[in-house]
Amino acid sequence: MRRLTIAIDGYSSCGKSTLAKEIAQKLNYVYADSGAMYRAVTLHMLNKGILKDGAFITKQVAQELNAIHIRFKFDSASNRSETYLNDENVEKDIRNSKITKHVSVISAVREVREKLVEIQQKMGIEGGVVMDGRDIGTVVFPNAEIKLFMTATNQIRAERRYKELIEKGESISLEQVANDLKKRDHYDMNREISPLRKAEDAIEIDNSDLDRESQLAMAIAIIEKKKVDLQEKV
């Protein structure tokens, strides 16, 4: 049977990447973090001074895209796939608050989306991929066999993100984290191009009260059922 394409979308800090990685590991599929690609483009634009204080000229961003090469490489020491921007490992640099603060404006640029969507679609051409993001089930893989849409309460998402940032040594209040999340969701849901939406055929998973094992078990049950349905159709 063809290996499936699994699209996972949802709000920020809903545990999409945790679930996506675990599914990929369990099924021996490739995990692709589309958010990391938008983060890498944002880092590049900041480094080049094209994005400054939240402002940029779209034409300059579009031109600079030609100088950007993004790829993922599996690192056996950390047991995870890491993001490379022009052959430099930027996995850590793209996760800080500065990038998080600027990524929504860069990911709303049409040219940026067109370039990244094209790369993402190539990554999924043979199936056997789990990709998480905001537009994976709606734009990148509208024909994905499995589409999941993750949600959790605002309070729980803010607490998760806060814990993550504190563990990384950042100094920030829970209130600030909650406000930043709200802003980013608002931006991602209201941008003109490919806004965050639940695909009509996506299955929603609210993981506010689920631990990692239960969440994974739920997703695997959905995938197994789909495989049976697909085989019955043949």
Q: What residues line the site for ligand DC (CB under 6 A)?
A: 12, 34-35, 38-39, 103-104, 107, 133-136, 184, 188
150 HSE (CA, 13 A, CB side): 30
Output phi, psi for 65, to 5 deg: -55, -30
CB of 1 to ligand DC, least distance (A): 27
106: nearest Cα among 48, 151, 43:
43
Q: Is 169 left (phi over 0), alpha (psi -120 to 50) or beta?
A: left
What is the edge-to-edge ordering of all strands in the sheet holding 146-151? 30-33, 129-133, 5-10, 146-151, 203-206
Give the nearest distance from C-beta 141 to ligand DC in angstroms. 11
Measured from the CB atom, the residue of 124 and 133 that comes closer to ligand DC is: 133
Query: Rounded to the nearest whole angstrom, what is the least distance from the CB of residue 210 to ligand DC in the complex?
Result: 19
- Tell me whether residue 44 or residue 184 sits nearer to ligand DC (CB atom): 184
Closest CB to ligand DC among 104 and 215?
104
* Pick 4 or 15: Cβ nearer ligand DC: 15
Please give the Cα distance from 33 to 215 (Å, whole number). 19
In the complex, least distance from residue 99 CB atom to ligand DC, rounded to whole angstroms:
8
**Residue 62 or 227 having the CB closest to ligand DC:** 62
Radius of gyration of the chain (CA): 17
Shortest reach from residue 116's CB to ligand DC, in Å: 8
Report the candidate in 127, 114, 100 with the shortest Cα–Cα distance to residue 43: 100
